[in-house]
Amino acid sequence: MLDIVRKQLLAMRARDEQLRAELAADGRLFDGYHPRMEEVHRANARELRSLIREHGWPTEGLVGPDGAEAAWLVAQHAIGEPEFMRCCRSLLEEANSLGLVPRWHFAYMDDRIRVFEGRPQRFGTQFDLMPDGPRIHELEDPSQLDAWRKEMGLPVLEVALARAQADPLPSPEEYAVKKAAESLWRQEVGWTG
């Protein structure tokens, strides 16, 4: 195990989670993509990109389970860098097929990218906080959802939806403004044309 790489990954995750908690505490996290959060995500993505060039994808065998999960989180949060996220998805898919990372790492990454691209997700990991509660984004094949979630080691959808209930819900006006800003942002960073 490369302990130095593991420690770098854990430090990146800690930076992300610390700022996320700070912004969530006063509600700023839920007002769109906060510039300070974007700054941390981009800095972490640069550092992860460098680690990948030097060592390949950080698998559990290389950096331990917590290091591999930290790498996944950094990649999952690099939302302002579509090509980097797509590259990470390919690396995760390969590591996943070899049993080197938990299967759910790939499921979350694949779904997140699909939703940002405006396509249906496969594993039902991505939700939208609506004024009336969380709603799952469009699914590729709802009849296969439970089987695909089970294959990836994910709990049934109802458990995931219950967890999402804890987040503050927007008013209808806040939701409309957020969705308009999100659509513009997706175009600006290159998720959609």
124, 139 contact by CB (below 8 A): yes
Examine the fold and report which residue of 51, 73, 101 is the final residue of a domain before the chain moves on: 101
Report the largest interatomic distance among the alpha carbons of the chain, rounded to a whole angstrom. Answer: 50
Whether the CA torsion 154, 156, 161, 164 is positive or negative: it is negative
**pLDDT surpasses 90 at 2:** no
When pLDDT is cut at 50, 70 and 90, the band that residue 80 belongs to is very high
Is residue 114 in some structural domain? Answer: no
Same domain, 80 and 168: no
**pLDDT surpasses 90 at 62:** yes
Instruction: Report, as an integer, the average pLDDT of 47-56.
Output: 97
Same domain, 15 and 46: yes
Examine the fold and report which residue of 66, 101, 136 is the final residue of a domain before the chain moves on: 101
**pLDDT surpasses 90 at 39:** yes
Same domain, 23 and 62: yes
Same domain, 2 and 96: yes
Same domain, 15 and 88: yes
Average confidence score pLDDT of the chain:
93
9, 63 contact by CB (below 8 A): yes
The reported pLDDT for the residue numbered 1 is 61
Is residue 17 in some structural domain? Answer: yes
Same domain, 138 and 69: no
The reported pLDDT for the residue numbered 170 is 87
Same domain, 34 and 74: yes
Question: For residue 93, what are the domain limits?
Answer: 1-101
Token pair in block for residue 130? 């609506």
Residues 151 and 173: their CA atoms lie apart, in Å, by: 39
Same domain, 7 and 49: yes
Q: What pTM value is reported for the model?
A: 0.92
Tell me the per-residue pLDDT of 126-158, one tens digit each, with 9 for 90 and over. Answer: 998 899 988 999 999 999 999 999 999 999 888
User: Which spans in 58-171 are helix H?
Assistant: 60-76, 82-97, 103-116, 145-151, 157-164
Residue 136: its H or E element: strand 133-136
Is 129 or 76 the better-scoring residue by pLDDT?
76
Same domain, 95 and 2: yes
The reported pLDDT for the residue numbered 159 is 82
Same domain, 131 and 75: no
Residues 104 and 35: their CA atoms lie apart, in Å, by: 29
Whether the CA torsion 92, 93, 99, 104 is positive or negative: it is positive
Examine the fold and report which residue of 72, 101, 130 is the final residue of a domain before the chain moves on: 101
Task: Give the number of domains in the chain.
Answer: 2
**pLDDT surpasses 90 at 7:** yes
Residues 23 and 46: their CA atoms lie apart, in Å, by: 22
